[in-house]
Structure 1
Amino acid sequence: MTNNFKTLGISSELENILRQNGITKSTPVQQEAIPKLLNGKDIIAQAQTGTGKTLGFMLPIMERIDENKPYIQALIITPTRELAIQVTNEAKKLNLFKDINILAAYGGQDVEKQLRKLKRGIHIVIGTPGRLLDHIRRKSIDLSKLKMLVLDEADEMLNMGFLKDIESIIRETPKTRQTMLFSATMPKGLRSLATRYMREPSQVQIQGEKITLDEIKQIVVETTDRKKQDALCQVIDEERPFMAIIFCRTKRRVKTLNNALKQRGYNSDEIHGDLNQAKREKAMRAFRNAETQFLVATDVAARGLDIEGITHIFNYDIPEDAESYIHRIGRTGRAGKTGMAVTFIAPKDRQGLETIERKIRMTLKRKKIETEKRKKDNNPKNKSYGRQNGFKPQNTREKKYNNKNKKRGKR
């Protein structure tokens, strides 16, 4: 099958925008989904993370939106604020040859600001279930003329307990709408949802040789809870990642680990549910711009985030299940690039690891390390870790600081 976007039915204007963003070849999920969606069919698309699902539904939506009709024609529901922001950014990149009004609606934002935007005539709404229901109750969103509905990362929405919210939103839409369900896994509850609300959906299933991404090297480091922090730092020093996400199970452990890493001299930040929206967006923006090298996170950051430059994923705490493992490590090795995932386990985690290995049909390579007392000259606290490992922040405060000092020097 061809990997040219034009032969899939995408206009030359959109293809030129993709080319300007460095995208010249379509992925298998796009090749399967785009022609069906342009023909108005409902689809259930199952594909691993990092396979281009967002463009798979966004390109047909941009083609089919009528900018002369000032009402909501497409609704994209996402499980998290971060994913809503990311999908919105992707939509805005494509919105160069049409005058399409796009609204991101998620918690933590100023509701009044969203209400003012809605009065101008919005064509596409991208939002989380809670905030969308809030607008529906306020009667500030009218979905009665909706043409296209997308459930993005649908399995995660079910895992997060959004099933009733999603059904409430769907009931506000016309039965004639086109429904697109995109997901990495397909649990029973999701199939049941599709049966109730979709019309003879086409099935699109893209699978690698293994359930987890083939481009990701995966290893397990055996350690203890007491030595885990030293083990993590030792592996970081050995692997020298350019950028990495470090996953912890709880918000408290995220805070504790981030503080410890900062004390050791690592360029790190944190993201979790206790941060307000402004701080979360600031942390994500700094990481996306490569101003921060390590992002310590709960699973809130595991879904759908496509950030260029992530070379490593560290599971500081073992994921709760195989699905969480798949989505965590899928933040690296994206779009055909290679990546590495390191999972740290204590003796109590072995049973959980075996369960994950059975589900992903792989036996992960074990690595046992003996943490040594860190020598002074190799301690990141005594040497800039980023510069030592080739990490060069792209939009850093350091540049601004140096520029200010140069100006002061001239004075």
Structure 2
Amino acid sequence: MTYFSDFQISEPVKRAIKEMGFEEPSPIQAKAIPIILEGGDVIGQAQTGTGKTAAFGIPVVDKVTEERYVQALILTPTRELAIQVSGELQKLSTHKRIRTLPIYGGQSIGHQIKALKQGVQVVIGTPGRVLDHIRRKTLQLDRAHTIVLDEADEMLDMGFIEDIQSILREVKGARQTLLFSATMPPAIKKLSHRYMTTPKVVTINKGEVTAPLIDQLYYKVLERSKVDSLCRIIDSEEVDLGILFCRTKKGVAELAEALQARGYLVDGLHGDLTQPQRDSVMKKFRDSSIEFLIATDVAARGIDVDNVTHVINYDIPQDPESYVHRIGRTGRAGRAGLALTLVTPREMKHLRSIEHEIKMSIPSQEVPTIEDVVEKQQNSWRKLISETIDDRGKEFDLFSPLVEEVLQDHSAEDVVAALLKLNFSSDSANEEAGYNFGETGGAKGMVRFFINVGRNVNMTPKILTEEISELVGIPSKAVGRIDIFENFTFVEVPEEVAPFVYEALRYSRINGARVNLEPAKPRPKRERHPTKTSNSS
């Protein structure tokens, strides 16, 4: 087993590491730090949250002297990551007299110029603002001996590749270049070939990336009651700090508004926010003034907060890489984390493709019932009531006349129960089923659906049952009677899964044909026999 004390680094840096509470290096640190200390170029392939900041930060701080000129430049895709890296390096250099400076757009350039003139040893910045300072000649890199490209693939995605090339051309002398990236797309490989000298490659396998401390679950939810399902899930979890991911900016704004209206402490982060607005939201998130940050993938880039206990994919990620990147934002620094994904019936196939790519099956869990939520929250409500009574102020007197009046007509137990029930009124008014299909002519406990295609698209009982089974997650044998005619089909499914079947198959495709599914009308008294009948696959 490797310890930080085993590395060939100076005592001041070792002391800082110990004071930060670190003893054993993470896999990327154990592999990368000794190689970086040798002085050559290094490519590190590692996800966010694996400890890569310290993997390059420790050697950088160890190498930098107290002379007042820029000796190391670290490029990051976002201002949040620049601030985060700067903070980490300040802790590592607490016993060395060196200064680090984050520079980024949105902050006064005059303030940054003043700080640069006073002399700093390490600059951490976004490519655009770094290039701006270079062109103004307020940032001199002629004596820089170390260049770090942090989250290079993110910088590529955000269109910074030309800025990075311009910056690298400004560093004329011999330098050590360190490149860290979660993925290695062709453009990043091309960049490394052009600007790095025989780099050594350090990688950590997937087992080391997706830490076992991250538990993963998915909930099957209906599109029309998705927000209510989310509220049930949140209410049944003990969330310290969480990130909710949406697919679009509009989705972030709508979900933030919906949850705020329900009394949840949330705020949204998306591309339309000004920099001061973004800073304000992030400050609230970092100091836990809000429980949940709601964000798109793009807006969340560079966010690196250690104490995130929950990541919830309100909208399922577009691809497996995004899924891995999202869930990696919890379970940091040895802490336990939980990644939850809400999946609508029409997204089940997409979930299966993600499971196939990440080579693991994500377990499912039922959305908590109102009874589950009440039971889970009893202790917190008991504590909240006691604290409110203990902290009674003048406001208590305002309610005294009403309290006396209500207690004349009702028992104290009924009044307390009624007040608690009011808290859950929005939930109880939106039960999970959300659909009333009425009388459809199905067997007892079954709902019968009409599908507008039949033998004309080569429909068979096996094809239909497998489609329902895959989309809804029920055994094929749970599907009831199937009547296939020339141009239409009837199928019966259990009442409890009927809403999911309805949302999964409505306007979907079977055998390549666009289909529509509707609740069937009650059977006529005499119905001719179908061409083909089956209740099994």
Give the 3-state SS of the residue equivalent to 2:207 in structure 1.
Answer: coil
Count of residues in correspondence between the two structures: 386
Per-residue displacement from partner, 1:225-269 (whole Å, max 9, x unpaired)?
322111111111122222111111222221221121121111212
SS in 2 for 1:171: helix
CA distance in 2, matches of 1:82, 1:352: 31
For 1:379 and 1:165, the matched residues in 2 are separated by: 55
TM-score by length of 1: 0.86
CA distance in 1, matches of 2:170, 2:274: 30
1:272-351 to structure 2, matched below 5 A, reads 272-300=270-298, 302-351=300-349
State how far apart, in whole Å, the 2-side matches of 1:239 and 1:309 are. 16
| Alpha-carbon spacing, 1:166–1:354, altered in 2? closer, same or farther (3 Å) | farther
SS in structure 1 of the partner of residue 272 of structure 2:
coil
Which residue identity does 2:44 align to in structure 1?
A
Decide which of 235, 238, 248 is 1:237's aligned counterpart.
235
Q: Which residue of 1 aligns with 2:40?
A: 41
Q: Is the 8 A contact 2:12 2:96 kept in 1?
A: no
- Alpha-carbon deviation of 1:200? 1.0
Which one of the candidate residues 104, 107, 115 is aligned to 1:117?
A: 115
State how far apart, in whole Å, the 1-side matches of 2:139 and 2:21 are.
35
1:176 to 168, 174, 177: 174
Where does residue 54 of structure 2 map in the other structure? 55
Residues 1:200 and 2:198 aligned together: yes
Contact 1:211–1:360 (CA under 8 A) maintained in structure 2? no
CA deviation digits over 1:263-317, x for unaligned, max 9?
Answer: 1111212222222223322322222222321111122454453323211100111
CA distance in 1, matches of 2:75, 2:225: 41
CA positional deviation for 1:224: 3.1
Aligned-pair RMSD on alpha carbons? 2.8
1:216–1:333 CA contact under 8 A, matched in 2: yes
- C-alpha separation in 2, matches of 1:211 and 1:67: 35
Q: What is aligned with 1:399?
A: none
Larger CA Rg, structure 1 vs 2: 2
Q: Over residues 14-72 of structure 1, what are the superposed CA-to-partner deviations in whole Å (9 max), with x where a residue is unaligned?
A: 2222222222221121111112212211111112332210001011111111222x221
Q: Distance in 1 between matches of 2:227 and 2:138?
A: 49
- Where does 1:54-203 land on structure 2 (aligned, <5 Å)? 54-68=53-67, 70-174=68-172, 176-203=174-201
Do 2:27 and 2:208's aligned partners in 1 also have CA atoms closer than 8 Å?
no
Q: Percent identity?
A: 47
Structure 2: distance between partners of 1:114 and 1:306: 23
Task: Quote the Cα distance in structure 2 between the aligned partners of 1:185 and 1:389.
Answer: 48
Structure number with higher relative contact order (C-alpha < 8 Å, ≥ 6 residues apart) = 1
Q: CA deviation at 1:211?
A: 6.0
Q: Counterpart in 2 of 1:394?
A: none
Kept after mapping to 2: 8 A contact 1:76/1:152: yes
**Unpaired stretches in structure 1, ≥5 consecutive residues:** 392-401, 406-411
Contact 2:50–2:209, Cα closer than 8 Å, also in 1:
no
Measure, in 1, the Cα distance between the counterparts of 2:383 and 2:33.
40
1:66/1:210 Cα in 2 relative to 1: closer, same or farther (>3 Å)? Answer: closer
* TM-score, normalization by structure 2: 0.67
Q: What does residue 408 of structure 1 align with?
A: none
Deviation at 1:161, TM superposition (A): 2.1
Rounded to whole Å, the distance in 2 between the matches of 1:254 and 1:386 is 31
Q: Which deviates the most, 35-44 or 299-308?
A: 299-308
Match of 2:333, SS state, is: coil
Provide the rounded CA distance (Å) in 2 between the counterparts of 1:178 and 1:100: 19
1:344 aligned counterpart, secondary structure = strand
* Aligned-pair CA distance for 1:351: 4.1
